[in-house]
Amino acid sequence: MYDHADLRSYLAALEALGDVQHVTREVSPHLEAAAITRRSTELTRPAPLFDNVAGVAPGFRMAGAPCALSSIPGHPLARVALSFGLPHTATAAEIVEHLVQARSREPLPPLRVNAGDAPCKQNILLGDDASLARFPIPKVHQDDGGPYVNTWGVIIARTPDGRWTNWAISRIMQVDDRHMTGLVLPGQHLGQVWREWEALGQPMPFALVQGGDPGVPAVGAIPLPAGAEEGSYLGALRGRPVDVVRCETNDLEVPAGAEVVIEGHLSATRDAIEGPFAEFHGWAFDETSPQPLFTIDAITHRDNPIWPVVAAGRPVDDSHAPSGPGVAAEVLAVLRDAGLPVTTTWLPLAAACHWLVITVPANWREQLPDVDTAGFTHRIGEVMSTSRAGRLCPVTYVLDDDIDPSNEADLLWALGTRVHPVKRQESFEGPIMPWYPCYLEEELHSGRGATVVHDALLPPLGGGRVPPAAFDSVYPADLRARVLAAEKARA
């Protein structure tokens, strides 16, 4: 019921829940579609589905905000939950646990199917016909360096020796109808794979996938360990292999239900200028950088393809909603593997996933005898400082699990009353993501800086902890019962 093999069945499920809004008037892919998507995201409206796109063949469509927060009352993470194969009612903690459990299962590699059974092979464009000109490539923000081919798709690449196939999300900008460029950062997995081809002086084969199984880009946003394959992880997550089909011009395999697949090769040198582009941190900086050049060799697509578009920027949007649970799950798995008692982890989405919150059970002292709160927090910081996922968040708060970290009211109350202004914190030097604006310019340049862990744990039960001043704790049980009974009678 919750397993959607392609973008179309996923959108149909959202539409049945009232979370899709058809836009039937003609809309331009140049800024207008992204502006509507951005507005929809900021106001938490249903996902816009553009049925009439200017400048392309009739039937070509665009889908905005495919994994942003949902408009369904009480279920803001519905799109994320459905993308990961859960019911739309799944909570933040349930989504994180689902992802953690899949990490411990046996990987389930993709299953190759015949080209005749792959919807993405309904149309095959080779040579001069393999042109971006026939597709609605969105210009997302007015000051972007160009239209962006990839805002919600995955780039598939493989190491030269074939040992590791990586599915990565990374932005890609159109240069002309046959060329693109995009971020290939050394610290990210795509950059690590590309570096091996660079060392050989050979272009890297690639496939860029738009649309298809909604879990593909959602999993592509998760910082799995180096060498782990997203396709096999998604199989374990869903309990079934992902159907894939071989590319036309290289030996990579792509999800068979994709809307559009762009094949080609990536130069072994950084000979193109990429950017600027407003990003997940919420700021529209004017930065550019030298990046490799993607050359297009072939394009395959479904009949009447749907092109997904994400208008990244100030949170919360698709840049945060799926990656927050994904990073949280990786951190939770690492901490539990280290034998540390942790209830759950969460990245507050409104903080652009720059914060990490870790909650621990009230009986953690029984599991770690002779360890005080500072010692426990230090152990957490040590484990996280050696983990790629653990260093993705500049600031971490360790709290008792009497609060729900995905509930902003709970979280703000806890942060405001339990975090010491200057004490009970420890910093850990190491690699950082080189585009977090909270860091100094020299830190961003070097890729190294500090992450901090705040010890915001309460005293032990019976050892100085006071009850919260809430309905359930500061009134007698019989009075509470009368109040609740009166409410029920009025209802």
Catalytic center residues:
279
Q: Alpha carbon of 230 to those of 2, 7, 333, 384: distances in Å? A: 19, 18, 16, 22
Q: Cβ(395)–Cβ(354) under 8 Å?
A: yes
- The angle subtended at Cα 285 by Cα 206 and Cα 394, nearest 5°, is 80
> Helix H segments across 424-491?
441-446, 477-490
Q: Alpha carbon of 59 to those of 31, 51, 52: distances in Å? A: 20, 7, 7
3-class DSSP state of 307: strand
Percentage helix, strand, coil, to 5, in the chain? 30, 25, 45
**What single-letter amino acid sits at 329?**
A
Q: How many angstroms separate the first and last alpha carbons of the chain?
A: 34
Q: Cβ(49)–Cβ(63) under 8 Å?
A: yes
Q: Residue 331: phi, psi to the nearest 5?
A: -65, -45
The sign of the torsion formed by the CA atoms of 391, 393, 399, 401 equals negative
Identify the DSSP state of 106. P
* CA gap 447, 430 in Å, rounded: 8
Residue 157: its H or E element: strand 153-158
Identify the DSSP state of 470. S
Q: Cβ(173)–Cβ(182) under 8 Å?
A: yes
Helices 323-337 and 92-104: crossing angle in degrees, nearest 10, is 60
Q: What is the DSSP pairing of strand 111-112 with strand 243-246?
A: parallel
DSSP letter string, 232-285 = HHHHHHHTSPPEEEE-SSSS-EEETT-SEEEEEEE-SS--EEE-----TTS---
Residues in the chain: 491
